[in-house]
Amino acid sequence: MSHLYKHLRIHQVFGANTDVGKTIITTALVRASALNNNRVFYLKPVSTGAPQDADDGHIKRHAGPQKHLVDAHCLFRYGDPVSPHLAAKMASETQGVKVSVPSDETFVGSIAEHIRKRARAASLGAHMYVETAGGVHSPTLSGTTQLDSYRPLFLPTILIGDSKLGGISSTISSFESLLLRGYIIDAILLFRDEYYRNFEYLTQYFAERGIHVTALDPPPPRLDDPSENFANTEKYYSNLVPPSQQGDVFTALEHLNECHARRIQELDSMPRRTSDAIWWPFVQHGLVKTEKDVTVIDSAWSDFFSIYDASRERTSQPASLLQPQLDGSASWWTQAVGHGHPTLALAAANAAGRYGHVMFPQATHLPALKLAERLLQGPGKGWASRVFFSDNGSTGMEAALKMALRSFIVSSGLELSSAEKKNLGVIGLKGSYHGDTIGAMDACEEGVYACEWHEAKGYWFEPPTVSVRQGQVAVSLPPALSSLSGDQHQVAEAFETLSHVYDVEQRLESPLARHYRRYLEKHMRHLQADSSRKLAALVIEPIVMGAGGMIFVDPLFQRIMVDVVRDPTLFPTALPVIFDEVFVGLYRLGFESAGPLLGVSPDISVNAKILTGGVLPLAVTLASDRIFQAFNSESKVDALLHGHSYTAHAVGCQVANATLDMVGRLVESDQWLGAIRKWAPEGATSSRAWSFWDPKFIASISCLDIVDEAMTLGTVLAIKFKDDDAGYASHSAQTLLQSLRLPLEDGSSSAAPGGAPFGVHYRTLGNVAYFMSSLNTSRATIEALEERLWRLVSDVRRS
């Protein structure tokens, strides 16, 4: 991940094209840095072409009067003067043996290791230049293009502009490709060509965009005689970078130094400024005591944040001020394919460039239409006929509730008074959460998430739950459903595997199913007898209630709830069923939607979060034709009068389409199929319920003394700690896991990009610690987290 050291300024040098003078201009910078009496490190990770032309050699030869301060290296060297991916291939062909091509991870790891070593060796004021090969998008050894390859390192960049004919275009396009990957571009340097005068145009163009441009004298033509050429070149450099330390190169150098200092100053100031200006959601500011309690996220890539930690500079071996931190809650359950994915950035930009936001009522545009159609063929398949757009899960649920209440009234043919309408009630489960707008809150019990106007409108059943206890998959009953009383839960049934629990059809005739049905029927009858609140909808988060504490509800219970509210002997008008799949849907738990698992379809469902790949807000409410028809008439006032300004914004829809494309490929990937196989019951190759987390790990951790139960599905792992025991076991999840936040400094290379030690950013819900990956998190990352969790939690037991 990112590297940033107070004592060592690092810049990466990208070229707007090949042959634009990257090495010559870098040589000038190196020489100027050294003349300033700074230790200078030059790194050319990949060099192609004849050895005598190698860039690190050129740097060494022309490093100037202070050349003893200069250290120049190359990590991978190939003979053919072609693109690195091809040079590696050609070397392999000509040498008749396969030249091993490093993977992107190894490549970035080697560079990161080199930087870490130099950082340890350097003292205050050192500079480093990392020069790429070719243009910004020239392929590296693996074939990944330069700016995607180097992105995990997130070094601030210098772009060497193109001074030739056509160079304005390649310079601006390269700049935009860098911006698309989030790169910080501190300066553009190019040769001053007096005929094409690109520097004139570009200086003004980039001044308008706040980017510093420096034009430098071009080098003399190459001479045939090596010694004459050397002397001529040396003369060029000594004019360009004079001992007087005057001129454009030194101005540029000064600017780069300032950028470096400003960046650190800014990062340093961010906790204080944030504490002064921001009102965080769900945070008690009074409990945020020090600047260290504020996580400063400088950038993010894949599953990792890059966070600023000022204390790193004060360690005996100065480490990078920016450190990877695993995004252990998938940034509030939003991440699908990791942070900073260029495909999603491009999708966002493309829609912004083609449409911006355009008016949606009675209008249409391709991104929204395509998204709607694929959702009707995805989570809505077989039951939904319409897609309604809004901005987040909470507003998606408000629309769902408006749909359900109205369609219930229309279907039932009841003439209700205004007061009766206001008091329509929903059926749900204790622990439900549907968002923070007041209508969505009103579909939940009153509790911690309260506000003055919140009025719980309905009845909520306490659910039986699924978990792994002492290595055993089991369904537990709450007191209301069991023979036990008080807070105790009773294990009702044990299962061989998770897959068996989620085989709902198979369990429908079990004694437990009959018990559930009798219980629900009895209570529903009581509720219907209450004339103050007419029941009008069933509203559930299928499979897991997330915010309520990662409660894995027995799917059989939810299935029977749906069956009961559709039983005409109990409900003359079937209650509309809303599945709030904002958290669980779109493969967060390994399945696209919960309907097929439960064996029933909802009338209305809501998706958000993963929908837009963890980039920006968008929500959809899917509805069946029966629901839609309740609003369809010749009268405007019957319409669903709900809408937000940015309804179906093209940027969100396009990003969603790109996300679903990627997810579609992931679902078929070896990584997924492998994980599914691991969870398959003996003799089977597939599993109805499965997880990215290892079954043995879950079983083992559930056996620990301090663990009450553990559970996992798809990307989610939840560990519930006991909190009523004495001694170490009384640690709450929050206290127990605190050390996870700190990087594990055991000297080994980590699973983070570049191999730096990483801490884990996690969230707890009461006594439940949960962890969540993206849909493409590497097995290595998950294993690393499993190992850290195991060490930490099993250590407590042994203490």
Tokens 């203490």 appear where? Answer: 799
Buried b (16+ CB within 10 A) or exposed e, 87-104: bbbbbeeeeeeebebbeb
Instruction: Fill in the amino acid letter for 167.
Output: G
Long-range contacts of 303-309 (CB under 8 A, 24+ apart): 303/327, 303/335, 303/338, 303/339, 303/773, 303/774, 303/777, 303/781, 304/1, 304/339, 304/752, 304/753, 304/758, 305/339, 305/761, 306/1, 306/2, 306/154, 307/759, 308/4, 308/267, 308/268, 308/270
Bin 600: left if φ > 0, else alpha if -120 < ψ < 50, else beta. Answer: beta
Cβ-based nearer residue to a copy of itself, 384 or 565: 384
Alpha carbon 516 to its chain's center: 39
Cβ-based nearer residue to a copy of itself, 291 or 521: 291
**Residue 621, SS3?**
strand
Q: x/- string (CB under 8 A) for a copy of itself, residues 434-453?
A: -xxxxxx-x---x-xxxxxx
Q: How many residues bind a copy of itself (CB under 8 A)?
A: 175
What gap in Å lies between CA 18 and CA 463, rounded to an integer?
64
Q: x/- string (CB under 8 A) for a copy of itself, residues 195-224?
A: xxxx--x-----------------------
Closest approach, Cβ 484 to a copy of itself, in A, equals 29
What gap in Å lies between CA 160 and CA 16, rounded to an integer?
6
Q: Is residue 92 near a copy of itself by the rule CB under 8 A?
A: no
Tokens 């980017």 appear where? Answer: 211
Closest approach, Cβ 305 to a copy of itself, in A, equals 6
Buried b (16+ CB within 10 A) or exposed e, 49-85: beeeebbbbbbbebbbebbebbbbebbbebebebbbb
Closest of 540, 263, 591 to residue 429, by C-alpha: 540
What gap in Å lies between CA 592 and CA 385, rounded to an integer?
17
Closest approach, Cβ 343 to a copy of itself, in A, equals 8
What distances in angstroms separate CA 146 from CA 129, 311, 460, one per listed residue? 15, 32, 55
By CB under 8 A, what part of segment 646-685 binds a copy of itself?
646-647, 649, 651-652, 655
Sole window of 109-117, 572-580, 628-636, 785-793 interacting with a copy of itself (rule: CB under 8 A): 628-636
Q: Is residue 85 near a copy of itself by the rule CB under 8 A?
A: yes
Q: Is residue 431 near a copy of itself by the rule CB under 8 A?
A: no
By CB under 8 A, what part of segment 247-306 binds a copy of itself?
266, 270-271, 273-274, 276-288, 293-300, 305
Q: Is residue 457 near a copy of itself by the rule CB under 8 A?
A: yes
Could you tell me the maximum CA-CA distance found in the chain, to the nearest angstrom?
Answer: 103
By CB under 8 A, what part of segment 171-190 binds a copy of itself?
171-174, 176-177, 179-183
Closest approach, Cβ 154 to a copy of itself, in A, equals 8
Cβ atoms of 455 and 447 closer than 8 Å = no
Closest approach, Cβ 514 to a copy of itself, in A, equals 35
By CB under 8 A, what part of segment 145-174 binds a copy of itself?
145-146, 165-166, 168-174
Closest approach, Cβ 358 to a copy of itself, in A, equals 5
Cβ-based nearer residue to a copy of itself, 377 or 749: 377
Q: Is residue 66 near a copy of itself by the rule CB under 8 A?
A: no
By CB under 8 A, what part of segment 513-572 binds a copy of itself?
536
Sole window of 17-25, 459-467, 475-483, 548-556 interacting with a copy of itself (rule: CB under 8 A): 17-25
Closest approach, Cβ 58 to a copy of itself, in A, equals 18
Cβ atoms of 771 and 740 closer than 8 Å = no
Residue among 639, 673, 684, 780 that touches a copy of itself (CB under 8 A): 639
By CB under 8 A, what part of segment 370-389 binds a copy of itself?
372-373, 376, 385-389
Closest approach, Cβ 83 to a copy of itself, in A, equals 6
Phi and psi torsions of 166, nearest 5° = 90, -10
Residue among 57, 79, 219, 342 that touches a copy of itself (CB under 8 A): 342
Task: Tell me the two tokens of residue 726.
Answer: 């004495």
What gap in Å lies between CA 490 and CA 478, rounded to an integer?
7
Q: Is residue 641 near a copy of itself by the rule CB under 8 A?
A: yes
Q: Is residue 19 near a copy of itself by the rule CB under 8 A?
A: yes
Q: Is residue 427 near a copy of itself by the rule CB under 8 A?
A: no
CA atoms within 13 A of residue 563's CA, in its CB half-sphere: 18
By CB under 8 A, what part of segment 736-775 binds a copy of itself?
761
Cβ-based nearer residue to a copy of itself, 212 or 588: 588
Sole window of 416-424, 474-482, 548-556, 731-739 interacting with a copy of itself (rule: CB under 8 A): 416-424
